[in-house]
Structure 1
Amino acid sequence: MATVTKPPPVRRPPRPVAGEKRRRGTLGARDRTFGFLLAAPAVALFAVVAIYPLVAGIGTSLYEQSLITPTRKYVGLENYLDIWPDFIDRLGNTLVFSVLATVFPVLIGVALAMLLNARLRGRNLLRGMLMLPWLLPGVVVSFLWAWIFNDSYGVINHVLSELHLPTVDILGNSGTAMAAVVVAKTWNSFPWIMVVVLAVLQTLPREQLEAAALDGASRSQRFRHVALPHLIGPVALVSMLEFIYNFGSFDMIFVMTGGGPGTSTMTLAVSLYQYAFTDFSLGRAAALGVLWLGALSVVCAGYFLLNKRLESRS
């Protein structure tokens, strides 16, 4: 006759005493309170520096307000309607400048990083020298290139005159002014992109490169099939960051051209300065700033989506 074994009794954990429950809940509340107290200074600083100016700017955009007269008049969305044609025109110039001032530094930075990653004599010296344009302030770079492109005593026109060629007013011509600003911005921006790409190249798996070389792959094939997949993500993120920075660039365009000739280099940043401190119209300047913030938010959203997609792949 088979014997039936009873399973061992299940021991239930002892019930916590009411005082212990209260102690646990009290400790959780204390931790939350302590965390809020730690974050409070940062939240307050963020509210003062970011949230209050944003709310104040949106409020100012609904009024007709000037720096000259202290009074203001509520006009609703009239400022937005007045500046809308200018916003579309300035947005086009801003996009042209941002795209060109991003593509060329990225191409030059990647090419120089590939060159400096090779075993060359004096490459450390070259790295230090190529970093100099990035170390200079933007205003200094602007004055330097404004002097180079100057139609009266600039270096380029001096060389052209020595070669008995006609001189060119580069900054005074609407067809070449934007190109001149892009050249100056490219010279100032490519070093930091070069450093980032060079850092990524230093982390490439040497085993894969050596295996591809042993299999008879050429340099271009090794770059396309081994190095390029590792570079796509960092280069894409660097390009988006550079585009966002160029989208709000002010100093270089303002110093070199002031938005001219005409409105050929008038970007959103320069136009906002003109509304506020030349026309003294704070309401229109605030309205342009709000529209500019909306456009920039779309670009930043694209950056975060790209970053999230790259993180999911890795």
Structure 2
Amino acid sequence: MSTSAPRQKHGGRLSNGAFALLLTAPGLALFAAIIVYPLVSALFTGFFRQDLRLPGREFVGLENFTYWLDSGFGTILKQTLVFTVGATIVPFLIGFALALALNSGLKGSGFLRGLFLFPWVIPGVVVSFLWMWIFNANYGVLNGILLELGFIEESVSWLGKPGTAMLAVIITKTWASFPWMMVMLLAGLQTVPKELHEAAAMDGAGAIRRFFAVTWPQVRGVASIVLLLEFIWNFQHFDTIYVLTGGGPAGATETFATAVYQSAFKGFDLGRATALGGLWMLLLLVLVAAYLWITERKGDAR
């Protein structure tokens, strides 16, 4: 009896912690294989001089990181922020305006909602080629319209001039991204109780005052998350910039995404490309931390 009691008590069963670890082990192994190992390996490569055309590599310490910090990092960061801010704020304002219009009971709002979603469902590369045709200096639609209206006297190379290339890229990204922002903001607007608007109207508040006193406080949380998510996505955006300009002309639209690509696959310098990617990742981690902080605050407020 003294030997059978422990067997009945434990019965060869796993503890709750061990059982939970056993269940999560396949997922953790997959995560380590496809996320952790490539990430650590890539960051480790940043400390080496490695040419894709040559075998082997040479340890150089922080040389690759100091190369970017001493040369083009500030310019790349500035241009990345210009693109990111422009391609976030402009579609947000357009999407918010359209969401307000659709939420006001506009006739045919269902059809318009579906129509406005059209740019969102088109692949990014296709959108880029479409706008490359619109901005073309020789036969582009934009130059044709502006010449016909008399706003310009000769065709403008929108993608070929440093002063207009970034603007063209931001316009392209705006057209592709405002629909999802519109949908998210419209969903937030539809949660605002109509009774609040009716009470404010009875108190004599006009449309603008009702927006700032009733609408905006109710959708501010959704708007902040939409803005931050779009900011993070634009901060690492690649396809639109690369297809339209490739980071040119003269580096006027070069961002972290295009600079890493150019360094690795055009310059064949994997070490420097990885070092820049590591610096880029640190900035992205700050943005992700801000997103998590905002979402946690929103959850606590509830």
Give the TM-score taking structure 2 as reference length: 0.93
Deviation digits for residues 255-304 of structure 1 (CA, Å, limit 9, x no counterpart): 00110111110000000000000010011111111111111111111222
Q: 1:181 aligns with which of 169, 172, 179?
A: 169
Distance in structure 1 (CA, Å) of the matches to 2:8 and 2:142: 78
1:201 is aligned to 2:189: yes
| 1:70 to partner: Cα distance | 1.6
Corresponding residue for 2:21?
36
Deviations 1:200-232 (A, max 9, x none): 111111222222222222222222111111111
Q: Does 1:271 align with 2:256?
A: no
Alignment CA distance shift 1:281-1:202 (3 Å): same
Aligned position for 1:149 = 135
Q: State the structure with more CA Rg.
A: 1
Q: Which position in structure 1 is the counterpart of 2:284?
A: 296
User: Residue 59 of structure 1: which of 19, 39, 44 is its match?
Assistant: 44
Would you say how many aligned residue pairs link Structure 1 and Structure 2? 298
Q: Residues 2-17 of structure 1 correspond to what in structure 2 (within 5 A)?
A: none
Aligned to 1:108: 94
The whole-number CA distance in structure 2 between the counterparts of 1:185 and 1:20 is: 70
Q: Secondary structure at the match of 2:72?
A: helix
What amino acid sits opposite 2:142 in the alignment? I
Deviation at 1:35, TM superposition (A): 1.4
Matched, 1:170 2:151: no
Describe the superposition over 1:36-72 as per-residue Cα deviations: whole angstroms up to 9, x where unpaired: 1221111111111211111101111111111111221
Percent of counterpart pairs with the same letter?
48
Equivalent in the alignment of 1:49: 34
Q: CA deviation at 1:99?
A: 0.7
Report which stretch shifted further, 296-305 or 135-144: 296-305
Q: Deviations over 1:14-49 (max 9, x none)?
A: xxxx98898677798433222112211111111112
| 1:175 aligned counterpart, secondary structure | helix
Q: 1:32 to 1:194 in 2, by over 3 A?
A: same
* Matched residue, 2:122: 136
- Residues 1:26 and 1:187: Cα distance change in structure 2 (over 3 Å): farther
Root mean square deviation of aligned Cα: 2.0
AA partner of residue 156 (structure 1): L
Distance of 1:21 and 1:113 partners within structure 2: 66
Deviation at 1:115, TM superposition (A): 0.1
Range 44-53 or range 158-167, more displaced: 158-167
Q: Which runs of 5+ in 1 are unaligned?
A: 1-17
Instruction: Give distance in 2, aligned partners of 1:181 and 1:64.
Output: 33
Match status 1:312 vs 2:297: no
| Deviations, residues 114-140 of structure 1 (Å, cap 9, x unaligned) | 000012221100000000011111111
Q: Tell me which moved more, 254-263 or 66-75.
A: 66-75
- Name 1:74's counterpart in structure 2: 59
Partner of 2:75: 89
Whether contact under 8 Å (1:64, 1:283) holds in the other structure is yes
Label 1:20 to 1:205 Cα distance change in 2 as closer, same or farther (>3 A): farther
Instruction: Give the residue type in structure 1 aligned to 2:129.
Output: F
Listed as ranges, the matches of 1:255-270 within 5 Å are: 255-270=243-258
For residue 90 of structure 1, report the CA deviation from its aligned partner.
Answer: 0.8
Asked whether the 8 Å contact 1:160–1:166 carries over to 2, the reply is no
* Alignment partners' CA distance in 1, 2:216 and 2:4: 62
Residue 282 and residue 25 in structure 1: after superposition, are their counterparts in 2 closer, same or farther (change >3 A)? same
